[in-house]
Amino acid sequence: MHTFFLILHSWMRWVVILLGLWVWISAFGPFIGHKPYLPVHRRSGLLFMISCDLQLLIGIILYVVGGWLAGWKDMSQAMAQPAVRFFTVEHETMMIIAWILVHVGWSRVKKTQSDRQKLSRSLVFFGIALLLILLATPWPFREVARPWFRT
């Protein structure tokens, strides 16, 4: 079961990143060009939020099933080991903050009347969330490396 969710979480990251790029890029052009907020912008934001929700759910399952909760029992020991610290504290904290930003951004965009403000809020909230997601991902070139595609 752990392996299944690990593979799913690994592949789902690409869905989240691609949708995050789509929502940000689709808002950038119209924002610069003073064009209207269109249904495609709403759809891209919604899909990004849903993908983040699914990824968080899979991540929570992995956190519990994968034994990372044990790191909280001896926090000084967990903080002394970079890999344990990353997966016990850093990864989860940054991803949850990103998830919150996506939800707050989605809510703010929905409630805003002005097309320009909708686009600007999409750029800010979804852009910061995407940046946090990219920073918190254990890329193959990092100390806490994980493969590009887990199989």
Contacts of 35 (CB under 8 A, 6+ apart): 29, 115
Does residue 40 surpass a pLDDT of 80?
Answer: yes
More confident residue, 149 or 100: 100
Does residue 31 surpass a pLDDT of 90?
Answer: no
Q: What average pLDDT does range 87-91 have in this prediction?
A: 86
Give the predicted TM-score (pTM) of the model. Answer: 0.89
Instruction: Determine the pLDDT at residue 128.
Output: 98
Predicted confidence (pLDDT) per residue in 129-145, tens digit: 999 999 999 999 988 88
Angstrom distance (rounded) from CA 55 to CA 45: 15
Angstrom distance (rounded) from CA 150 to CA 42: 31
Instruction: Determine the pLDDT at residue 9.
Output: 94
136, 94 contact by CB (below 8 A):
yes
